[in-house]
Amino acid sequence: MNQQIRKTFLPFALPSISEDAIDSVTEVLRSGWITSGPKVKQFEADFSDFLGCDHSIAVSSATAGLHLALEAIGMDKNSAAITSSVTFTATTEAICYFQAEPILTDVDPLSNNMTVATLEASIDKFCTIRSGKLYLKNSKKLVKAILPVHIAGSSCDMEGIISVAKKYNLYVIEDAAHAFPAVYKDKLIGNWGDFTVFSFYATKGITTGEGGMVSTKHSKHADRIRRTRLHGINKIAYDRPSWYYEVTDAGFKYNMTDISAALGISQLKDANFFWERRRAIAKAYAEAFCNIPGMKLPQEDKNGVHSWHLYRIELDPNHAKMGRDSLAEELKDRNIGSSLHFIPIFEHPYYRKKFQYDREDFPAACKMYDRCLSLPLFAGMNDDDVDDVIYAVKNILEN
């Protein structure tokens, strides 16, 4: 254990790329078919098998996946969707692509997830019911969807949220960028809502460099997303016997490459190992930090299995030795990285100005923002790395 300063910087996240993954990518580069081909189809099939879901559609990013899912349900400028105030901008950004309005909810103080209570509170405050449908009070826009976000890998109460969605005839589009391979009740995330969107960004549980996946149980919507991810073309080149094709929809350029898919296929084989290692690190942190004054630790899911994408602590300024910002700087001085997940949506200038959000509507999110810090957590961390983080945090906050 290094009791001073690490010789090398430890970031809060790094991808774990095996030699098998490198070989797989090299094979694709040599094959001559490097995009929208056999590896993408295999990755989609393997992912569906892993989740046990009906349809998986590979895309260029989770942001693209959210955009395509919203497009598939008919989102437009006269629409609105409800999502969490604690999320990355991609969630609300995808709603704004349609000139639609994002309605924000506050979050649970422990999990920082949307709950049935925070969902219903936002519906009561911002919405009204007319002819059995939900509309915004201020703009008369029709609410079409709920986008729950599984922060850090802790799953939302999907049964409760789906019950609310059915009550108001809304789609459920899960932002599961952090939630692979999380479990809610007896099923993996990816089998609950109408759509689930996963991220394979470089810091995620598995990576394709850049990329994402949309899972859905709806065949009609799956077919549309497959078309609209690549210009609305009815059949990709790999699947059609001749040069002829038809454009059936106005689409986008959101397809995944075979290079990315080859990496994803290899990563998927290691997904359980990656999760087990992250869980072991989270357990080591929990045992080491449980008695530090003023520190709140993340908890295992009561209704499922945490994916441990992030290890987020909160520091109570009334009881901890120092605040979040000071701890982050002290860790940086010791060559240890950290991050914050997330700056609430209502704090960003674009959203605050455009939608006039009031911080007083989101007290739990504000409290989280003032206190939260993500510590290093990734499968490639060795025991010395973990010990360095534990020593540094305890040395800073206890001495």
What residues are labeled active site?
204
Q: How far is residue 388 from each of residues 7, 232, 367, 376, 399, measured CA to CA in Å?
A: 11, 51, 28, 10, 16
Q: Which of 89, 104, 88, 155 is nearest to 374 (CA)?
A: 88
DSSP state of 131: T
Cβ distance 86 to 151 under 8 Å? yes
User: In this structure, are strands 212-216 and 195-199 parallel, antiparallel, or unpaired?
Assistant: antiparallel
Ramachandran quadrant class, 71 (left: phi over 0; alpha: psi -120 to 50; beta: rest): alpha
The Cα 176–Cα 199 span in angstroms is 7
Cβ distance 12 to 374 under 8 Å? yes
Interhelix angle for 258-269 vs 271-289, to 10°? 60
Which are the contacts of 109, defined by CB distance < 8 A and separation ≥ 6? Answer: 364, 367, 368
Q: Which of 66, 161, 159, 63 is nearest to 105 (CA)?
A: 161
The Cα 371–Cα 324 span in angstroms is 6
